[in-house]
Structure 1
Amino acid sequence: MIPAAVRPYLAELVRRARTVHGNQLLSVFAVGSLALGDYRPGRSDIDVTVIVAPDTPEKALHDLAAALAHPAFPCPAAGLELVVYDAEFAASATPEPGYLLNLNTGPLLPAVADFDSAGAPAFWYVIDRAVARQSGLPLFGRPVRDVLAAPRRPDLLTAVAASVDEHAAGAGHLTDNRVLNGCRAVLFCRTGRWVTKREAGRAIAAAEERFEPIVAAALRSFERPRSEAVALPWVQVDEFSAWVSRAVRRPPRNGPTTPEE
């Protein structure tokens, strides 16, 4: 399921992680668009989660960040988003950021190497862990479900609402991504499953006729590389975002549970 174009990069990423962490490296798995089967060059990031032993020294985390930094280790995607957790936190289902390292690096990402999760917005990490638990692709070590607990549904719904609010603010987000992220959030609240942004967009366009034009425009733009994305009409995007915000805050009565629950 991993595209051939990124397999050598992921294999080398795992090799470098093993060199740095040795026996303290427990598991590495791909998440995000790779896990959901919708990775596309020029648009997608490479998202990776790493689980290490609780007694991993901080120096090893700094060494890993240095070993994976672009351009010395060239990222073939828009960017690498890699998060490291210790095994005790990963197994806890705690709705906190909780990472030991949050690394963003690559040709289209601002470089970030953060070793302190205090004050970080939790929703990104709760959602990523939920996607990983459902669909994470193993690259090394123990299976995902052996090392990563499923977030509790109330915590996950809180995270989804926070994600919608952050995207609605618009800062740093392409308009097509704002719309399709909203589609995915609503579809999760309705079904309890994480799907690709394109699948979610098609489902919401079919179910919500009044929003079909803006969602269809977002889907067309999403087919382009990030650098060629189309700026969608802000009035329509804001109207759609307001509807999404309301929709994710009133999930169906006796709504679905995630498969892990």
Structure 2
Amino acid sequence: MSRPVDIDAAVVAELVEEQFPRWAHLPVRAVARQGWDNRTFRLGEDLSVRLPVAESYATAVQKESRALEFLAGRLPVAVPSVVALGEPGHGYPFPWSIRRWLDGDTVDRVAGLDRVRLAVDLGGLLRVLRSLPVHAGQAAGRHSFFRGSHPSVYSDDVHAALQRLDGTVDTEICRSVWFAATSSVWESSPVWFHGDVAVGNLLVSDGGLSAMIDFGTCGVGDPACDLVMAWTYFEGDARDAFRDAAGLDAATWRRARGWALWKALVTLSGGSGPGGVDSRRVLHEVLTSPL
């Protein structure tokens, strides 16, 4: 991946003033918690500006805009609404977007959340997403970082991570889980997937799931990748409730477990994203909770 670009509020304000002068009077401020692929800024009270940090993420801007236009009103929760698409300028090299601001807190910031309720809500949301016509979606591939593809696309990463982690993780069980994950395929027609169902991409209001955001890796293909919260967040009764609400067959859940395993291993081995205690906890859940 190319080196991430630096983005600050001053650059965002210049882009808005030049390309969308009707909003130039609105104050620009960075949101408190930023994502990995994009930087987000509030534009006044009702809008936000979303800017990819690298070229590999910039290719999703147009795709995500088309997908969100199709998905709006078809899901039981809100999704971002794109109101304008921007172009490179003022030293910023990528396309970007302005969206309606969605109220709510991300799941990871809500204390005392009823996880069983969230599990049921999320499973139901994913069922609806899978039921929608796929003509507006893009087939899984490089644009989705191969989410929605067969997990074996990352087999080399898994084996390399296990070599680096040898002696610190149970490599035998890891290989067994990975083999099970890669021994089946999605045999039905391709369906919609979000591609990054995570606590930071789900908004909660009044204790219930109210919105799903960050559709940059969405597409159509195998929905197994959307089930990883069974190991990254849910436990016990909530995990069982998520499995029941989301549906899908045992083979798809094995592939989902493989997706969770891959991410935990490459993060722990230093190959992708931030590492730390959480990835080791996720790996423990993956290896001890097969579903």
Alignment TM-score, normalising by the size of structure 1: 0.33
Larger helix proportion, structure 1 or 2?
1
Structure whose alpha-carbon radius of gyration is higher: 2
Alignment TM-score, normalising by the size of structure 2: 0.31
